[in-house]
Amino acid sequence: MIPFLDLKNLNAQYRDELINACTRVIDSGWYIQGNECNSFENEFAQYCGTEYAVGVANGLDALTLIIRAYKEMGIMNDGDEIIVPANTYIASILAISANNLKPVLVEAGINDYLIDPEKIEEAITLKTKAIMPVHLYGQTSNMEKINEIAKKYDLKVIEDSAQAHGAYYGDKKAGNLGDASGFSFYPGKNLGALGDGGAVTTNDKQLAETIMALGNYGSQKKYENLYKGVNSRLDEIQAAMLRVKLNFLDKEIENRRKIAAYYLQNIKNENIVLPVVRNIDNHVWHLFVIRTKNRNQLQKYLEENGVQTLIHYPIPPHKQNAYNEFGNNSYPITEKIHSEVLSLPISGVQSLEDTQKIVDLLLEYRG
Ligand X SMILES: *Cc1c(COP(=O)(O)O)cnc(C)c1O
> How many Å separate Cα 296 from the centre of its chain?
25
Tell me: does residue 234 bind ligand X (CB under 6 A).
no
Tell me: does residue 350 bind ligand X (CB under 6 A).
no
Alpha helices in the chain (DSSP H): 7-12, 15-28, 35-48, 59-72, 90-97, 143-153, 205-214, 236-246, 249-266, 295-304, 332-340, 352-364
Nearest distance from residue 115's CB to ligand X, in Å? 12
Tell me: does residue 238 bind ligand X (CB under 6 A).
no
Biggest CA pair distance of the chain: 66
Nearest distance from residue 206's CB to ligand X, in Å? 24
Are the C-beta atoms of residues 143 and 133 closer than 8 Å to each other?
Answer: yes
The 163-202 site mask, x for binding ligand X (CB under 6 A), equals x--------------------x-x---------x-x----
What 8-state DSSP symbol labels residue 52? E
Among 160, 235, 236, 354, binds ligand X (CB under 6 A): 160
Indicate the residue among 341 and 359 with the shorter CB distance to ligand X: 341
- Count the Cβ atoms, other than its own, within 10 Å of residue 41: 21
Tell me: does residue 116 bind ligand X (CB under 6 A).
no
Tell me: does residue 96 bind ligand X (CB under 6 A).
no
Who's near 201: CB < 8 A, 6+ residues apart?
A: 44, 45, 48, 50, 52, 53, 54, 161, 175, 176, 180, 181, 183
Nearest distance from residue 159's CB to ligand X, in Å? 10
The dihedrals phi and psi of 190, each to the nearest 5 degrees, come to -60, -40
Burial 78-110 (b: 16+ CB within 10 A, else e): eebbbbbbbbbbbbbbbbbbbbebbbbbbbbbb
- Contacts (CB under 6 A) with ligand X, residues 295-314: none
Q: Give the residues across from 231 on adjacent strands.
A: 216
Residue nearest to ligand X (CB): 59
Stretch touching ligand X by CB under 6 A, among 84-92, 117-125, 242-250, 332-340: 84-92
Indicate the residue among 348 and 355 with the shorter CB distance to ligand X: 348
> How many Å separate Cα 329 from the centre of its chain?
25
Who's near 26: CB < 8 A, 6+ residues apart?
A: none
Indicate the residue among 189 and 362 with the shorter CB distance to ligand X: 189
- Count the Cβ atoms, other than its own, within 10 Å of residue 167: 25
Nearest distance from residue 16's CB to ligand X, in Å? 26
Tell me: does residue 263 bind ligand X (CB under 6 A).
no
The 41-80 site mask, x for binding ligand X (CB under 6 A), equals -----------------xxx--------------------
Nearest distance from residue 57's CB to ligand X, in Å? 8
Nearest distance from residue 223's CB to ligand X, in Å? 29
Nearest distance from residue 174's CB to ligand X, in Å? 11
- What is the secondary structure of 217-272 as a DSSP string? TTEEETTEESS---B---BHHHHHHHHHHHTTHHHHHHHHHHHHHHHHHH---TT-
The dihedrals phi and psi of 2, each to the nearest 5 degrees, come to -80, 115
Indicate the residue among 86 and 362 with the shorter CB distance to ligand X: 86
- Contacts (CB under 6 A) with ligand X, residues 131-150: 134
* Coil/strand/helix, residue 212: helix
Stretch touching ligand X by CB under 6 A, among 29-37, 88-96, 227-235, 327-335: 88-96
Tell me: does residue 355 bind ligand X (CB under 6 A).
no
Stretch touching ligand X by CB under 6 A, among 155-163, 247-255, 303-311, 353-361: 155-163
Indicate the residue among 139 and 163 with the shorter CB distance to ligand X: 163
Residues contributing to the site for ligand X (CB under 6 A): 58-60, 88-89, 91-92, 134, 160, 162-163, 184, 186, 196, 198
